[in-house]
Amino acid sequence: MPILAGDVLRRASIILNDEEFVRWKKVELFDWLNDTAAEIVLRRPAARSVTAVIPLVAGTLQALPAGSLLLIDIIRNIKTDDGPGRPVRRIDRQLLDDQMPTWHEAKQADSIKHFTYDEASPTTFYVYPPAKAGVKAEIMRSEVPPAVAADDDLVQLDTAYMSPLVAGLLYRAYAKDSEYANAGMSISWFQAFSEALGVQNSVTNEASPNVRAV
């Protein structure tokens, strides 16, 4: 369930002892809230993961939709009638380069078998065989949450991220270059922000069905 932006600001303002938003104006708090939400997704992509069908362009090199942060997985092909197609498996690019040096020049196909991905270029990926223009694939990606600018706007993260949102907002508020800046408090809240996400990662990993015996 998304989080009401005003609830995050209210919690932060109580800790800042600035419930009337005199020292820290709302306009800057909303900016820092947006920065914090984006930072959460950068550190924990699953916080804002989206599964959607996208059309591919002709060839091997593909790009994620605008607003994406990184690719999480490519699940399957989608047929022209929008029905499910064959699964897509990740493969190491070096393996393709070594065993099939001309794979970028292969005949374009109506269905892809593999994809390769390099974190150094997080919003692009390659597919094999080269896709025909318009071939569709179901992908999982992380994206930047839509920006908020008013109390009634919704931060598109689950309510479980309320604590790191508040902590990240306070870290930036105390780091503000003004008479109210407090380096010690800023560092403390940054640590709280990092620890909150670290605990969530640990719990999520331990609870994942992928770590259970089958």
Summarised one tens digit per residue, pLDDT across range 138-194 is 999 999 999 999 999 999 999 999 999 999 999 999 888 556 556 788 888 889 888
- Mean pLDDT value across residues 83-104: 95
Average pLDDT, the chain: 89
Do residues 57 and 136 touch, judged by C-beta distance below 8 A? no
Sequence-ordered list of residues with C-beta below 8 angstroms from that of 98, at least 6 positions apart, any chain: none
Do residues 115 and 60 touch, judged by C-beta distance below 8 A? no
For the chain, which residues make up each domain, given as ranges? 3-46+144-203, 48-142
Q: What are phi and psi of 176, to 5 degrees?
A: -55, 135
Select from 100, 79, 76 the least CA-distant residue to 90: 76
- Res 206: pLDDT: 39
Inform me whether the pLDDT recorded for 130 exceeds 70: yes
Sequence-ordered list of residues with C-beta below 8 angstroms from that of 97, at least 6 positions apart, any chain: 103
- % of the chain at pLDDT higher than 90: 75
CA distances from 20 to 79, 104, 129 (A): 55, 60, 59
pLDDT digits (tens, 9 = 90+) for 180-189: 556 788 888 8
Instruction: Take residue 94 and report the two structure tokens written for it.
Output: 């070096």
pLDDT digits (tens, 9 = 90+) for 39-85: 999 889 889 999 999 999 999 999 999 989 999 999 999 998 889 99
